[in-house]
Amino acid sequence: MPRTAYVNGRYVPHRQAAVHIEDRGYQFADGVYEVVPVFGGTLVDEELHLDRLERSLRELRIAMPMSRQALKMISAEVMRRNGLTNGLVYMQVTRGVAPRDHKFPKTPVKPAVVMTVRQTKPVSQEILDNGIKVVSRPDIRWQRRDIKSTSLLPNCLAKQEAHEAGAYEAWLVEPDGTVTEGTSTNAWIVTKDNKLVTRSATNSILNGITRISLLKVAAAEGIEFEERPFTLEEALEAREAFTTASSIYLLPVTEIDGKPIGNGHPGILSQKLRQAYIERVAKPGAFQAEAAA
């Protein structure tokens, strides 16, 4: 089936999808995006993703391009046209098209909206059985990581370095030695006293939607957790570690910088949380019920 994209009010063949060369997203990364997982034809945590989209736009002083209901309708239509039942919906909103100038356009322009979808394959059994390798890299990003900006060059550089080192992900480290997050994931550890730890949702990290949902799962499972910074040294000494994102849910980390975490195998708590999260995702009507609560 040929792929279809949504670009500024039109559904077009994916190969022909294009934006103007003076779109500020293209020239300045002046825009934001969301990646929403789709499971069984349902957008997972759609309301939370739209909440974050609105927040990111507000922080950059970009107007919502349309109502939430309209965005939902477009998402559903792009999914329908692509026959998507399991995968990802990518939505991007930029400030729009204007003559190139670092300042915002004097006369407000219409925000540009792009939406595409992608089929995804399940995480391989090998990764689930063995976990993933992570390398640490200095965090050289700007100080507003809470905004889901399209400006991702430092993330891309670190992710490429991880790939070249034979690792799945890079965890980014502040000058004080604390881990912020991965290049496209949130970072978690399980301490030796079996306490779940992830960094607090401040400007230093992107508050991942899977992160938010997993904390709810942990609370429901009676798992004790702390939201606080943890050091790379603490991660290396942890009983378990894992990383989360909308595209992968939860993956156990079994090696950081060439050193095994715990016994070098996916931990019991990591596996329990992954299973509980997947059960939540697969539960019919779970997200609609939470949104209505």
Q: Which amino acid would we find at residue 141?
A: R
Helix (H, G, I), strand (E, B) or coil at 264: coil
Q: For residues 180 and 188, give the distance between their C-alpha atoms in angstroms, rounded to a whole number.
A: 10
- 245: nearest Cα among 186, 159, 169: 186
Helix (H, G, I), strand (E, B) or coil at 238: coil
Is the Cβ–Cβ distance between 190 and 241 less than 8 Å?
Answer: yes
Q: For residues 242 and 266, give the distance between their C-alpha atoms in angstroms, rounded to a whole number.
A: 9
How far separated are the first and last CA of the chain, in Å rounded? Answer: 38
Q: Could you give the residue numbers annotated as active site?
A: 148
**Phi-psi label, residue 249: left if phi above 0, alpha if psi -120 to 50, beta otherwise:** left
Total count of residues recorded for the chain: 293
Q: For residues 193 and 186, give the distance between their C-alpha atoms in angstroms, rounded to a whole number.
A: 21
Is the Cβ–Cβ distance between 105 and 65 less than 8 Å?
Answer: no
Query: In the 8-state DSSP scheme, what is residue 191?
Result: -
Helix (H, G, I), strand (E, B) or coil at 138: strand
